[in-house]
Amino acid sequence: MQTAHSFRRFLEQTDLGATQEVHIIYVRQIARHGGASGLRDVGLLQNVLQRPVNKWQYEEADIFECAAEYGFGIVKVHAFVDGSK
């Protein structure tokens, strides 16, 4: 399945690569919808992005559980200045 393959490649990237990709998505959302731009703490974002990887590797979570972990983590820790985007 193409989606699972793409997700697996995303999980295999370095933390910095995944952090950059998420930051690009955030910047695009700010440009489209407005709001304050900026990253409060890159360490928080890296931690959030690592949690689904751990679930994938150690708990054999499926793609839906990992996606939920990403969404929950990003919303919960407020790593971005305008975290409601």
Query: Which pLDDT value is given to residue 64?
Result: 93
The pTM is what?
0.67
User: Tell me, what's the pLDDT at 41?
Assistant: 85
Kindly give the confidence (pLDDT) of every residue in the chain, 85 residues in length, as a single tens digit, with 9 standing for 90 and above.
445 556 556 555 545 677 888 888 888 888 998 888 888 888 888 888 888 888 988 998 998 998 999 889 888 888 888 765 5
pLDDT at 7: 55
Q: Please state the three-class secondary structure of 33-47 as a single string.
A: HCCCCCECCHHHHHH
